[in-house]
Amino acid sequence: MKKTILFLTTLLFMATASADDARKTVDELKAKFVKMGEPRIEGVEKSGNIIAPVIYFGKQKINNNFSVVDEIKKTSGAYSTVFVKDGIEFIRVSTNVLTPKGTRGVGTKLVHNKAYDAVIKGEVYCGDIDILGNSYYTCYDPIKDKVGKVIGIYLIGFKK
């Protein structure tokens, strides 16, 4: 009985640590981008195999720029992505998440799942999600422009 309680307590602690880590790390990711300036959409360009809107923070173009997401991976071990909104879809334009072929997942779309349902309404989603074939504990935080319109998503994930 004591071993079972200890085991369950350990699992609960691990789940809480993952939740806290993901929330903290998505806030760090967001802060790095917000420090660059106001987010906005301007123009389109190729990201992976798709033409996507270009997201900027201040004067810094984010599409196909991996410095911040790679820094997050190096400092926290977290997988991170910036999505841009394109109609009803969200397209990965900066990521350190790899496809099964080992290439960055730029140009891939966010699956319409629990995270999508939350961010499309401007809400944060934290929980378990499958990303490009792997299971992660994640936090998705909507990127909003100066008038509060959702124009993208910050994503942090820790592989399970």
> Of 134, 137, 128, 88, whose CA–CA distance to 110 is shortest?
88
Q: Domain 2-159 carries which CATH code?
A: 3.30.450.20
Is residue 88 classed exposed, middle or buried when 0-12, 13-18 and 19+ CB atoms within 10 A define those classes? exposed
Residues 59, 102: Cα–Cα separation, whole Å: 30
pLDDT digits (tens, 9 = 90+) for 49-99: 999 999 999 999 999 999 999 999 999 999 999 999 999 999 999 999 888
pLDDT digits (tens, 9 = 90+) for 11-23: 333 333 455 688 8
- Contacts for 65 with CB less than 8 Å, ≥ 6 apart: 94
Mean of all residue pLDDT scores within the chain: 88
Closest to 152 in 3D by CA, of 47, 53, 28: 53
Res. 154 pLDDT band, cuts 50 70 90: very high
Residue 23: the pLDDT is 84
The whole-model pTM stands at 0.85
